[in-house]
Structure 1
């Protein structure tokens, strides 16, 4: 389990950063420099630079629309950028699953890919970053019943690609996961699927950058309340020792997702994760239990 620094407040917030990244990618795709793109808007270079870094306090939708036109973006992409510009720069940013940002920018996946450390608590289901293709496929076929086979394959491929951040040789993400025992015993797709899934988790947990701990039934409620799933994303630091992004907590639910950036929210989630972690089995006993439950599923085949 990595040691976490106290969360640090920064000037930018999630919608602003998402917009800035998107506009920067669009500009670079056209081959325009910051200087040239700013000149087309009759701006100073610093004005566009601040917008791309997500530190502009006020963003005008008409300016974003003009940039999109300069970059040759189509109507759909322009509308998505304009909706980002309209988002209030709050420290806690709520979006529903149907929000255009989910479809156009895949917010969580982009943040996960840039994180240096992930701390995940999951009480019900195997986290996406640990799922096998079969386990993921069973869930996606149920959640996206109207998707074609090709669309489902793309969803699964994305899930598998996310795991590359854990298994890559250079600077793999440091992953700490607390799984409730319920995750291991809830059957998805039948015993055969569960056997492969649990053995996959156990194998990944042998990597130096991965720690998977099991919160057993007998641990009760270590925090005194029911805790929903959450993920703490900590980002690498730049050459000046400053994080490239503030620490973000992501919590998913049936009605929507919430992203928390406020220092007090992040601190509380760190503390909750530590409390849960302290109630888990140690690394080796956790791995042993995962393999034991896999054998139990195997005996039911």
Structure 2
């Protein structure tokens, strides 16, 4: 019988538990012995295979590994969410608002496919572009707090530029994202040139969906990211792919194969009518020049 709950928070929880056990210098067998838990049970927990997870077990594990209180609360929240069939993560609800579930999934992915109609994707944003957005989104924060957010974004971008096994990144960006000004036209010019430069990397594909393409699906698709985690032996997925939808009050994670397939189909339809990589690169540089000219 298939497990009743969502596999996504279980897998995320398993990754964190494995990481912190390793930090504590414990083998899986030794940790299980100290926890008075079967080694098989701990192994299933770390692989995200337990369908029912007890909060007290997670608390005991975190105590043994020396996990700090804030992260312990987040991991207990993940354990509770694992029993929910359709997973919707609302900040400040079960999981602490400062725990970014998506970032952990992003770091584990080997391929990211994204459609962003209005904004430059986060992994491709310059610091000044991101800073302009953070200034508005976190207006009540201090300058130091806002700058910390910018630095966190910059750190996330390492998965694209690292020398060893960089993530494969495929994005379609709406033309509106090129022309809508964040910060200033000078900031936009630099941002678009950065996109053009990044698109020359072998692991990065950037296409622009022009206004003239209309609505490929007959509807206005929201921004989305499809995260894929690679294949093991016999072409089996290491983990099932996930569709991420960011919301103003909460984030939605779709795991059902039919849902993921639907977003793959939508992306393919959008990609086919978008400009190809070379034409998109030329457009990025052209619009960058337009911003510079209007800045003078």
Question: How many pairs does the alignment contain?
Answer: 292
Structure 1 residues 78 and 162 mapped into 2: Cα distance closer, same or farther (>3 Å)? closer
Q: Quick one: which of 151, 166, 185 aligns to 1:191?
A: 185
Find the aligned partners of 2:136 and 2:68 in 1 and give their Cα distance: 33
Gaps of 5+ in 1: 1-8
1:147-158 matches, cutoff 5 A: 147-158=141-152
Find the aligned partners of 2:131 and 2:90 in 1 and give their Cα distance: 23
Q: Please state how far the C-alpha of 1:13 moved relative to its aligned partner.
A: 0.9
Q: What SS does the corresponding residue of 2:226 show, helix, strand or coil? A: strand
- Please say if residues 91 and 260 of structure 1, whose CA atoms lie closer than 8 Å, have aligned partners that are also in contact: no
| Structure-1 residue corresponding to 2:23 | 29
Q: Please state how far the C-alpha of 1:90 moved relative to its aligned partner.
A: 4.1
| Structure-2 residue corresponding to 1:172 | 166
| Structure-1 residue corresponding to 2:13 | 19
- Please say if residues 233 and 248 of structure 1, whose CA atoms lie closer than 8 Å, have aligned partners that are also in contact: yes
Find the aligned partners of 1:164 and 1:146 in 2 and give their Cα distance: 28
Q: Please state how far the C-alpha of 1:82 moved relative to its aligned partner.
A: 1.9
RMSD of equivalent CA atoms: 2.0
Q: Which runs of 4+ in 1 moved over 6 A?
A: none
Q: What SS does the corresponding residue of 1:271 show, helix, strand or coil? A: helix
Structure 1 residues 168 and 102 mapped into 2: Cα distance closer, same or farther (>3 Å)? farther
Find the aligned partners of 1:34 and 1:12 in 2 and give their Cα distance: 24
More deviation in 21-30 or 257-266? 21-30
Structure 1 residues 173 and 72 mapped into 2: Cα distance closer, same or farther (>3 Å)? closer
More deviation in 47-56 or 110-119? 110-119
Q: Please state how far the C-alpha of 1:163 moved relative to its aligned partner.
A: 2.1
- Answering whether residue 259 of structure 2 is matched by residue 234 of structure 1, we say no
Gaps of 5+ in 2: none
Q: Quick one: which of 190, 207, 227 aligns to 1:213?
A: 207
- Please say if residues 101 and 107 of structure 1, whose CA atoms lie closer than 8 Å, have aligned partners that are also in contact: no
TM-score, structure 2 normalization: 0.92
